[in-house]
Structure 1
Amino acid sequence: MTDTKRPEDDIAIADGVDDEAIESNRRIFEGWRFYTISGFAAIYAAFHMAALNGLSIEGMTGIELPFLPTFPMETWNFRIVHVAGSLMLGFLLFASFQFDDDKDEVTETPLLGYLSLVLMVPALVSLGAAIYFAVQISGGVSWNGMDPGIRFNEIWLYGVPLMIATVGGIVLGWMHRRHRGGFAAPDFVLGVCSVAVATYLVTIYGTLMRNSTGTPFAPIGISIAAVAGTLLIMELTRRVTGLALIIIAGIFLLYVFTGQYLPGFLNSPAISWERFFSQVYTDAGILGPTTAVSSTYIILFIIFAAFLQASKVGDYFVNFAFAAAGRSRGGPAKVAIFASGLMGMINGTSAGNVVATGSLTIPLMKKVGYKRNTSGAVEAAASTGGQIMPPIMGAGAFIMAEITGIPYTDIAVAAIIPAALYFISVYFMVDFEAAKLGMRGMSSDELPKLKALAKRVFLFLPIVILIYALFAGYSVIRAGTLATISAAVVSWLTPYRMGPRSTWKAFEIAGIMSIQIIAVCACAGIIVGVISLTGVGARFSNVLLGLAGVSQLLALFFAMCIAILLGMGMPTTAAYAVAASVVAPGLVNLGIPTLTAHFFVFYFAVLSAITPPVALASYAAAGISGANPMETSVTSFKIGIAAFIVPFMFFYNGALLMEGTWFEVARAGLTAIVGVFFLSSGVQGWFLGSRSAWFIRVACVVAALFMIEGGLLTDLLGLGIAAAGFLIQKIARPDPDTPLVVKGAD
């Protein structure tokens, strides 16, 4: 009898890390519906890969096809198509409500179906009008927003039908409930409206009218298309991320038209709706930095992550982490730090990474003795840390480069020590927790064999190629493309060889994975547009300047609170984009270097994912661990506490961002590591091999704070306090369970 056991059967503990997570409101299709959506998603992702690399059918075949666009497309058109494609795919795939798999009922009524068909008429009329305008303009008609005839046609042939269909489709979508395997008619209406918006804007922006936005010469159709587009973006964002970002965007939009009535620094000049919306769907808002990054770097790395997923490389990463760290005390928690940090760096979303790797690591953490809330909190903290881990930083590095103009490589290098401090701190936190609970690691029989895994270390090659290409001077797009191709190539050395079918599947996964982040980036662009067009960011800078006159530390603390508040409930990308628009300019005006200011804001925007009361990553982890969401978020905040200190550390000591001589950088990094060790010891109550009394814990925290500034005197003082605490602990042996007694208390 032939032994058919495959090599990975002996070494695999992780299975399913690369499986696709199914959201509660996502439709699951079969038959022709499945092939339709699968094809749409795959073509959408492949289109981006082709466009970003400047490919064309003509270039690949040598056949001249004049009716097809040649890549790369014009920038604005590319971004408009990028958003429109995501809207169409998103509305068809994600329902406006959550499905109950135990009650797969159809609650639609014939009336709702008929109303949807009625709404399709104005949707098609608006699309037809947009095409008609395109034909007229290509035929030489001069398009002027001041012409009464053109204005009439844009309002009544295009604008009014579009708004009726858009608003009606959104409202009907809330009421129209189909079973999970079927399309909903209102979503088709919204898809047509998305195409109508894109067709009109591509047509008009292809003329000189692009330069007229925000002026009386702008065609009224731009403003109407932008209103419809804004509503469509917000509705899809609500479906894929919930209400948090929608509420924030709604408040900012309300501010546009009410700011003139507000007092103090919130007061803004009056802005008409036509002027505002004629500008918000440009590079001053929706088509600005957030969509620029989502249409290039983010979707490129989503495709890369999808290829890693299709080739089962993610499973290998987790298996390798188990083999390397599983035997140490609290092993699964340390595995989560390594695996979730690595995967979170690539996939760019804390909550999504929690679902992907946490489904494996959280049950194992519970199995070895961690409490439910601690198990979820460790995974949430580790996944959140992936967003600050170079070289990809969950696409944050590329957004920062886009906003600041600082070279990507400088940002990635500057992120090394702060990211190391975060993960070292989390490691200390889980290790000390395991020590307090007397945990042991997993047995050899429960773990993959490191020797066997080492034979497949070539699966790290795509990551190595990516890092090398980025630092060798290749463009981000070329580096990401090479890494994606290498992921397919190395799969041929494994049982999961990528052929045409699995390549198609990878593009399909990428197309679907990209919907959420594209919607979020577009919605964040609305907020960025409000900030730039109302000038509220500049007025916020003045507030920070005023606070800095009292205390620079107070100004930094206020900036930290605003960055966390703005980021609550948002995915990382949107959180940083919004915070960078509001907070970072104010910090720069304080005289803080641009890189330091943006890193400060970026860190706290990222940490909003584990900051109570709205902590997306912690809530996702609680759903897997079965713990209370608020308890999990509080625990994850405690585990990631060092990250709230690190930004102040690199503010006071720029050497932590690689600014200075090698000696200064090395000394700053070493003393910072000692500082986070003291901080972790103080928070967890475990200091150099034994539990510590409350006053020794306080001494450890104080010692850590003294090491923030990075000066020689403060470092020595911090070391002295810690040494005194250690001597007291070893000589006097105070009872760690002795409570803090306040004189006069009962």
Structure 2
Amino acid sequence: MKKPQDTAIRTRVDPTLSVIEQETAKANVDEEALTSNQRDLQGKRNMVVAVLCVAYSVFHLLVMNVYPLETWAYRLSHVGGGLFLGFLLFGATALSGSTAQNTRNPLSLGLLALSAAGILYAAVAVGAIWINGRVMGNALPPAWAMSTFGIPLVLGSVLAVLHGWFFPQRDRRQFALADILLAVAAVVATAYLIFFARQLQLRAGMPMALPGDMWAAVTGVILIIELTRRLAGMALVIIAGVFVAYAFLGPWLPGIFEHRGYDAKRFFSYIYTDNGILGAPIAISSTYIILFVIFAAFLQTTRVGEYFVNLAFAAAGHKRGGPAKVAIFASGLMGMINGTSAGNVVATGSLTIPMMKRVGYKPQTAASVEAAASTGGQIMPPIMGAGAFIMAEITGISYMAIVSAAIIPAALYFISVYFMIDLAAQKANLKGLPRDQLPKFGVLVRQIYLLTPIIVLISALFAGYSVIRCGTLAMMTAAVVSWLTPHKMGPKQLFHALDNGARMVLQLVAVCATAGIIVGVIALTGIGSRFSTVLLTLADQSQLLALFFAMVVSIVLGMGMPTTAAYAVAASVIAPGVVNLGVEPLIAHLFIFYFAVMSAITPPVALAAYAGSALAGSDPVKTSVESFKIGLAAFVVPYMFFYSPAMLLQGSWIEIIHIAITAVIGVYLLSCAVQGWLVGHASAAVRALVLVAGLFMIAGGWMTDAIGLGLAILLVVYQKRGAASNATT
């Protein structure tokens, strides 16, 4: 490992000067220290895990590009491999949040012994099934193996999970035995399901499902829930638990929640198919998400990604509030690729947040800006943090239609964030960084070839190539472009990128699988259609009221959940009712998607804001409130494209240009109202009138635009006269 002093003097993509270099060096040292603690980069343990992670990444790239695998087996391998690596990499935390306890007391040893006995017996039984069929060529598996492996596997897995809750291992330099057992259980359950894949597909959820099918599926569900708890917290786990309980408690529930109920065999054999866990979220996770996460790992490893930040600093770092404006560009671009708002805050905020604090931003403001920008990356075409792919899978609308429609709304969001930052900088009289402490723009322009991976990606997408081919080409381009820099990608760097890509995707694998459980329950019980019926009744045929309910439900469901899971669940519950009211499917799904994304900066549970507050050392609640204010336009834009489909490029060019211009003016006025600044400090009355003018401008009609623009002009004149009179006196 490099010594910190070596890191501190290391040059970057060229030629950054002292301040940027210092902050980057600090970020690199912090990152190395963090990975040292979490991954234990020294010793045999890390090498074993790294090789397994690289194998996981290579497996996916080969299947997607070279050797296609049967869909069922591929998705199962994706989930099972993710579980296997997840338990080896991420140790259990105590359920109570207490510190690690003595793992050598009798209760701990007893749990481990019973768990090991159950899981290892199941492993032997499933091995016998495989050998009997594949090696011996027998049509029927051994009866003893089929009838006895299930209960020991489930009990062993449960005991290993409980051991992790109450006896988490303090020292992560070695594998915890309980985690090894859970990893083995993941392999056993997945191997059984793959071996009997076609039969299970045919009998899933039906009376002919075998007991072994159920026990393997139960084990898989337990492992998915536990890994989600470790990687994404309790919010999604609790929601999934409520839905699973609902599947069994239906006969005793009132009103629309009542259903006939399902026995365990039918439920679990149904939920572990493409109707549930292996459905749309995992379909996207196993293709587009993992592809672009590995692409993001390539950009990080080659440091091509740092060029984006350097270029932004060179272009805007000297302007008022410059580092905050840099965060918009850098975080929005990287957030578009990596698929998780909170993760992107950690990745880019380690550089942008200290720089914002350096020029005078309060810690909570710096964290809020980073959270708002990173969250906005999820709505930025052409990747939209994998949202476009999931939406295409769910709706059947073409990918190109979705990303094209999202261009103007996404641009409006980032323009509004820029306005918020610029107005706040004016109000606080914040300056930028001195030019002599910034990268030289002229030199960076000569390195513009480092943008080639993004240019190749976007060009290939719009040229009509498949998304997988486009992502692969962009990945290869990043590697080739790195050969023109001091950080040329060789075998060692390639190994690290593939390793890091697998590690980065594990949370999304767990989250997407858990979202699949929820979606499967919705499909099995029919609660989605009944909820939509209630929505229609409450809305009383009012599309606006239905959209308001959809907004509330999307935000509530999304709190504490990553974007992909939040949208998948919200779309299953709400979208059918909104579409039945006559709202176009594209508008309905984009509307729901935007609010599911914005839940990451919506109090009281705002994951992106919390991640930023941890980096900035600010109060999480105050940070979430401020990030909500900065991203306020995102809560208005969906209503704008509902009233004005031209914003989604549906209409003539005159209509599209008209709505785009007036919407920009509208969000500027809204930003002025929020920040209390129009030419100068704005009184409460002026802020209220500016808000009214902004709302008129975003309505989309010529008359409302004229009223809003006229009112805005009058307010500007009034403010200028007030400023002039104050200056005279």
Would the TM-score normalized by the shorter structure come out above 0.5?
Answer: yes
Structure 1 residues 40 and 553, CA, compared in 2 at 3 Å: closer, same or farther? same
Residues 21 and 356 of structure 1 are in contact (CA less than 8 Å); yes or no, is this contact kept in structure 2? no
Residues 25 and 94 of structure 1 are in contact (CA less than 8 Å); yes or no, is this contact kept in structure 2? no
Measured in 1, the distance between the counterparts of 2:541 and 2:364 equals 40
Structure 1 residues 345 and 117, CA, compared in 2 at 3 Å: closer, same or farther? same
Structure 1 residues 7 and 259, CA, compared in 2 at 3 Å: closer, same or farther? closer
Give the match for residue 701 of structure 1.
691
Residues 559 and 605 of structure 2 are in contact (CA less than 8 Å); yes or no, is this contact kept in structure 1? yes
Residues 640 and 698 of structure 2 are in contact (CA less than 8 Å); yes or no, is this contact kept in structure 1? yes
5 Å-filtered alignment, 1:124-203, equals 124-138=120-134, 153-155=145-147, 157-174=148-165, 175-203=167-195
Measured in 2, the distance between the counterparts of 1:709 and 1:143 equals 67
Q: C-alpha offsets along residues 370-423 of structure 1, whole Å, 9 cap, x if unaligned?
A: 122111100000000011111111111111111111111111111110000000
Matched, 1:486 2:477: yes
Measured in 2, the distance between the counterparts of 1:544 and 1:724 equals 42
Measured in 1, the distance between the counterparts of 2:377 and 2:282 equals 22
RMSD: 2.3
Deviation of 1:530 after TM superposition, in Å, equals 0.8
Give the match for residue 73 of structure 1.
69
Matched, 1:608 2:608: no
Give the match for residue 718 of structure 1.
708
| Code of the aligned partner of 2:43 | G
Matched, 1:452 2:474: no
TM-score by length of 2: 0.93
Structure 1 residues 725 and 244, CA, compared in 2 at 3 Å: closer, same or farther? same
Measured in 1, the distance between the counterparts of 2:260 and 2:36 equals 43
Deviation of 1:540 after TM superposition, in Å, equals 1.3
Deviation of 1:268 after TM superposition, in Å, equals 2.3
Residues 330 and 434 of structure 1 are in contact (CA less than 8 Å); yes or no, is this contact kept in structure 2? yes
Matched, 1:43 2:55: yes
Measured in 2, the distance between the counterparts of 1:661 and 1:488 equals 42
Residues 54 and 502 of structure 2 are in contact (CA less than 8 Å); yes or no, is this contact kept in structure 1? yes
Measured in 2, the distance between the counterparts of 1:527 and 1:24 equals 35
| Code of the aligned partner of 1:184 | A
Give the match for residue 719 of structure 2.
729
Deviation of 1:108 after TM superposition, in Å, equals 2.2
Give the match for residue 10 of structure 1.
15
| Code of the aligned partner of 2:696 | F
Deviation of 1:446 after TM superposition, in Å, equals 1.4
Q: C-alpha offsets along residues 677-707 of structure 1, whole Å, 9 cap, x if unaligned?
A: 11001111111x2111111111111122223
| Code of the aligned partner of 2:321 | G
Matched, 1:89 2:85: yes
Residues 306 and 507 of structure 1 are in contact (CA less than 8 Å); yes or no, is this contact kept in structure 2? yes
Give the match for residue 584 of structure 1.
575
Paired residue secondary structure (2:603): coil
Matched, 1:644 2:640: no
Q: C-alpha offsets along residues 336-360 of structure 1, whole Å, 9 cap, x if unaligned?
A: 1111101111111111111111111
Deviation of 1:547 after TM superposition, in Å, equals 2.5
Residues 337 and 382 of structure 1 are in contact (CA less than 8 Å); yes or no, is this contact kept in structure 2? yes
Equivalent residue for 2:389, pick from 395, 398, 402: 398
Residues 79 and 513 of structure 2 are in contact (CA less than 8 Å); yes or no, is this contact kept in structure 1? yes
| Code of the aligned partner of 1:515 | L
Paired residue secondary structure (1:433): helix
Deviation of 1:42 after TM superposition, in Å, equals 0.7
Residues 260 and 268 of structure 1 are in contact (CA less than 8 Å); yes or no, is this contact kept in structure 2? yes
Residues 104 and 179 of structure 1 are in contact (CA less than 8 Å); yes or no, is this contact kept in structure 2? no
User: More deviation in 258-267 or 384-393?
Assistant: 258-267
Q: C-alpha offsets along residues 89-109 of structure 1, whole Å, 9 cap, x if unaligned?
A: 11011011289xxx9988321
Deviation of 1:114 after TM superposition, in Å, equals 6.0
Residues 53 and 85 of structure 2 are in contact (CA less than 8 Å); yes or no, is this contact kept in structure 1? yes
Deviation of 1:499 after TM superposition, in Å, equals 0.7
Residues 27 and 182 of structure 1 are in contact (CA less than 8 Å); yes or no, is this contact kept in structure 2? no
5 Å-filtered alignment, 1:372-521, equals 372-521=363-512
5 Å-filtered alignment, 1:159-308, equals 159-174=150-165, 175-206=167-198, 208-308=199-299
Residues 389 and 419 of structure 1 are in contact (CA less than 8 Å); yes or no, is this contact kept in structure 2? yes
Paired residue secondary structure (1:448): coil
Matched, 1:108 2:65: no
Structure 1 residues 25 and 349, CA, compared in 2 at 3 Å: closer, same or farther? farther
Residues 358 and 621 of structure 1 are in contact (CA less than 8 Å); yes or no, is this contact kept in structure 2? yes
5 Å-filtered alignment, 1:22-41, equals 22=34, 26-41=38-53
Equivalent residue for 1:317, pick from 308, 326, 337: 308
Residues 94 and 100 of structure 2 are in contact (CA less than 8 Å); yes or no, is this contact kept in structure 1? no
Measured in 2, the distance between the counterparts of 1:331 and 1:549 equals 48
Paired residue secondary structure (2:487): coil
| Code of the aligned partner of 1:81 | S
Count of paired positions: 706
Matched, 1:685 2:692: no
Residues 432 and 684 of structure 1 are in contact (CA less than 8 Å); yes or no, is this contact kept in structure 2? yes
Matched, 1:121 2:117: yes
Measured in 2, the distance between the counterparts of 1:211 and 1:96 equals 36
Deviation of 1:269 after TM superposition, in Å, equals 2.5
Paired residue secondary structure (1:10): coil
Residues 104 and 180 of structure 1 are in contact (CA less than 8 Å); yes or no, is this contact kept in structure 2? no
Measured in 1, the distance between the counterparts of 2:297 and 2:509 equals 16
User: More deviation in 636-645 or 720-729?
Assistant: 720-729
Structure 1 residues 257 and 590, CA, compared in 2 at 3 Å: closer, same or farther? same
Structure 1 residues 6 and 347, CA, compared in 2 at 3 Å: closer, same or farther? closer
Residues 126 and 145 of structure 2 are in contact (CA less than 8 Å); yes or no, is this contact kept in structure 1? no
Measured in 2, the distance between the counterparts of 1:204 and 1:191 equals 20
Deviation of 1:226 after TM superposition, in Å, equals 1.1
Measured in 1, the distance between the counterparts of 2:636 and 2:100 equals 51
Deviation of 1:6 after TM superposition, in Å, equals 6.2
Structure 1 residues 384 and 198, CA, compared in 2 at 3 Å: closer, same or farther? same
Equivalent residue for 2:350, pick from 339, 359, 369: 359
Matched, 1:343 2:334: yes
Q: C-alpha offsets along residues 494-551 of structure 1, whole Å, 9 cap, x if unaligned?
A: 0000111111111000111111111111111111111111111101111221133163
Paired residue secondary structure (2:244): helix
Deviation of 1:220 after TM superposition, in Å, equals 1.6
Structure 1 residues 442 and 733, CA, compared in 2 at 3 Å: closer, same or farther? closer
Q: C-alpha offsets along residues 254-303 of structure 1, whole Å, 9 cap, x if unaligned?
A: 11112322222222232222111110000000000000000000000011
Residues 543 and 583 of structure 2 are in contact (CA less than 8 Å); yes or no, is this contact kept in structure 1? no
Give the match for residue 58 of structure 1.
none
Give the match for residue 53 of structure 1.
65
Measured in 2, the distance between the counterparts of 1:24 and 1:632 equals 29
Deviation of 1:713 after TM superposition, in Å, equals 1.5
| Code of the aligned partner of 1:107 | N
Deviation of 1:556 after TM superposition, in Å, equals 1.2
5 Å-filtered alignment, 1:524-563, equals 524-549=515-540, 551-563=542-554
Paired residue secondary structure (1:649): helix
Measured in 2, the distance between the counterparts of 1:584 and 1:359 equals 37
Measured in 1, the distance between the counterparts of 2:316 and 2:585 equals 38
Deviation of 1:10 after TM superposition, in Å, equals 3.4
Residues 100 and 168 of structure 2 are in contact (CA less than 8 Å); yes or no, is this contact kept in structure 1? no
Structure 1 residues 470 and 666, CA, compared in 2 at 3 Å: closer, same or farther? same
Deviation of 1:732 after TM superposition, in Å, equals 5.3
- In structure 1, runs of 5+ residues without a counterpart are 55-70, 737-746
| Code of the aligned partner of 1:50 | L
Give the match for residue 4 of structure 2.
none
Measured in 1, the distance between the counterparts of 2:556 and 2:529 equals 19
Residues 643 and 699 of structure 2 are in contact (CA less than 8 Å); yes or no, is this contact kept in structure 1? yes
- In structure 2, runs of 5+ residues without a counterpart are 1-8
- Identical counterparts, % of pairs: 54
User: More deviation in 124-133 or 277-286?
Assistant: 124-133
Measured in 2, the distance between the counterparts of 1:676 and 1:9 equals 37
